Amino acid sequence: MSAPKLRKRFWETVPLEKMSHEEWEALCDGCGKCCLNKLEDEETGDVALTNVACRLLDDSTCRCAQYPIRHQFVPECIVLKPQNMEHNLYWMPETCAYKLLWNGEKLHKWHPLISGDPDSVHLAGISMRGRTVPEFEVSEEDWEDYIIEEPS
Ligand code: SF4
Ligand code: SF4
């Protein structure tokens, strides 16, 4: 008999680097916030979030429309893994499950793994569902006009 793909409450007991691929993927709450374009101040390093979304983000589901083959279209899309978490923390959303666990914090009660409902992240107002504009509709020089506060 093979081991179950998702161990019971694995996010509380299994370190990030020991999670199975399925457990790692299940950690994503589907908020869509990491798929938004950011503006980085070269001098201060400050990162501003915009609601201009990657061209592959489906605004109605808040999921990547081509996740398994996304690098064919967006080669720069970062594949998050325990080995590169530290390097990426500075731009990651505050509510991101990977960031929370990396920082030793708990998942929020609206996280689908806690609530058992994939919609809870949307119902709690955390996600970007219905709130983005696609990057092909906004010229990069205008992104400043689309800066937002992170929904949290
Ligand atoms: S910010 Fe984190 S939890 Fe939200 S969609 Fe991106 S990877 Fe998933
Ligand atoms: S390619 Fe997909 S996963 Fe990557 S940023 Fe775009 S929408 Fe998000």
- In the numeric block, which tokens belong to residue 70? 């996304």
Buried b / exposed e across 21-33, counting CB within 10 Å, b at 16+? Answer: eebbebbbbbbbb
Largest CA distance in the chain: 56
Return the DSSP state at 92.
Answer: S
Residue whose CA lies nearest to ligand 1 atom number 8: 28
pTM: 0.94
Are the C-beta atoms of residues 30 and 112 closer than 8 Å to each other?
yes
* Contact of 106 with 37, CB cutoff 8 Å: no
Q: How far apart are CA 26 and CA 112, in angstroms?
A: 9
pLDDT tens by residue, 126-151: 999 999 999 999 999 999 999 999 99
**To test the ligand 1 pocket, which listed residue (88, 96, 128) has its Cβ within 8 A of the most ligand atoms?**
96
Cα 40 from Cα 78, distance rounded (Å): 16
d(CA 12, CA 47): 30
Q: Is the CB of 64 under 6 A from ligand 2?
A: yes
Q: How confident is the model at residue 5 (pLDDT cuts 50, 70, 90)?
A: confident
Q: Yes or no: say if 110 and 123 are a contact pair by the CB < 8 Å rule.
A: yes
Q: Are 122 and 129 in contact (CB under 8 A)?
A: yes
Whole-number average pLDDT of the chain: 96
Q: Which residues have C-beta atoms less than 6 Å from ligand 1?
A: 28-34, 93, 96-98
Q: Has residue 3 got a pLDDT over 90?
A: no
Contact 140, 52 (CB under 8 A): no
Q: Name the percent of the chain lying above pLDDT 70.
A: 97
Choice from 29, 34, 35 to test ligand 2 binding pocket (greatest atom count within 8 A of CB): 35
Neighbours of 123 (CB within 10 A): 12
